[in-house]
Amino acid sequence: MHKNVLGHGGLIVSRMGLGTMTFGVETEAEEAHRQLDLFVDHGGTMIDTADGYGAGASEKIIGDWARARGGMNDLILATKGRFAPPPGSHGASRRSLVRSIDASLTRLGVEAIDLYYVHGWDIHTDIADTLGALGDLRAAGKLHHIGWSNLTAWQLQKLLAVAERYNLPKPIAVQPQYNLLERGVELELMPCCLEAGISLVPWSPLGGGWLTGKYSADARPTGATRLGENPARGVEAYDLRNTDHTHAVLNAVSDVANQTGRPPAHVALAWLAARPGVASILLGARTLAQLKDNLAAADFTLTDRQMETLTAASALPALPYPYNFLRDLCGMDVWDRLGT
């Protein structure tokens, strides 16, 4: 599997990463271990989890698997803290992060985390305190690099400024939701990351299953899908995504899939892997068969024309002010280069 450099920290990661949010919730340990074996056998090296996935079950499953194989020094391990704080602390506070990472290290059975993400912004904690705690944890050898998930560009720029002023660690990766149906990160977050040399590690690359071609405009999902098995969640999520724009994108994906002889999911993954700043895509699967299908796209690439077709079909609406002003009158072409 192709490898990429992750940000400015020197880590090298596989083009496809393994997201493990289902482990211990929708995927039992034995099936999860088979997924981990398959992922590594296909050349995957980036395993992503969080202390909030299954209330720690995901980390425990990965740790048990790693111990059985004799460790994971050949792999890049990422986990997150923020949404499972110990009682008495806000999620990104020093007390919370210190206790959370110790618990994660125990469950995972490792001495250090390669990439530790703050899972989301904490409005109750000064960013300098959060970065200071992460810096101390790095100095103590408990983590090597930091990242951030689910944040805005102004928040990223704020933490970069604080890190620069006080010589605190800067993130090497940002983990946003990003796919052909969700391109809002391109307005500000992606340009900010490109400017700072920070890589993107997208989650939900298949748009919650929509980009696999299994949902249609006139039939609500049923059966063995996440939306089909949870009627309440299914109706709400289906109605939010079931739009004319969605189906225009799906039609374009289907056309390219027919041209290439590949399934729609492979087309969507290949488009995302080729986007600026994207270092690794997190594949999440409930079953071994789903993961195997998606891993088959690991080395698949699209032609320039196919990329342009998909980018045009999924483009954001006309750029609002001030982005159009900056592009047209100030010469900023970053959004044209992104194809928005």
- Please tell me the predicted confidence (pLDDT) of residue 242: 85
Given 53, 116, 117, 323, the catalytic residue: 53
Instruction: Tell me how far apart the alpha carbons of residues 19 and 39 are, in angstroms, rounded to a whole number.
Output: 11
- Digitized pLDDT (tens) for each residue of the chain, 340 residues in all: 999 999 999 999 999 999 999 999 999 999 999 999 999 999 999 999 999 999 999 999 999 999 999 999 999 999 999 999 999 999 999 999 999 999 999 999 999 999 999 999 999 999 999 999 999 999 999 999 999 999 999 999 999 999 999 999 999 999 999 999 999 999 999 999 999 999 999 999 999 999 998 887 777 666 666 666 665 555 666 777 888 999 999 999 999 999 999 999 999 999 999 999 999 999 999 999 999 999 999 999 999 999 999 999 999 888 899 999 999 999 988 888 888 7
- Please tell me the predicted confidence (pLDDT) of residue 337: 82
Domains and CATH numbers, the chain: 3-338 (3.20.20.100)
- Please tell me the predicted confidence (pLDDT) of residue 49: 98
For residue 166, indicate whether it is catalytic: no
- Please tell me the predicted confidence (pLDDT) of residue 336: 84
Which residue type occupies 222? T
Instruction: Tell me how far apart the alpha carbons of residues 57 and 53 are, in angstroms, rounded to a whole number.
Output: 7
Q: What are the DSSP E strand ranges found in the chain?
A: 3-6, 11-14, 16-19, 46-48, 76-81, 113-118, 143-149, 171-175, 199-200, 281-284
Nearest to 212 by CA among 255, 246, 253: 253
- Please tell me the predicted confidence (pLDDT) of residue 266: 98
- Please tell me the predicted confidence (pLDDT) of residue 214: 85
259: left (phi over 0), alpha (psi -120 to 50) or beta: alpha
- Please tell me the predicted confidence (pLDDT) of residue 233: 57
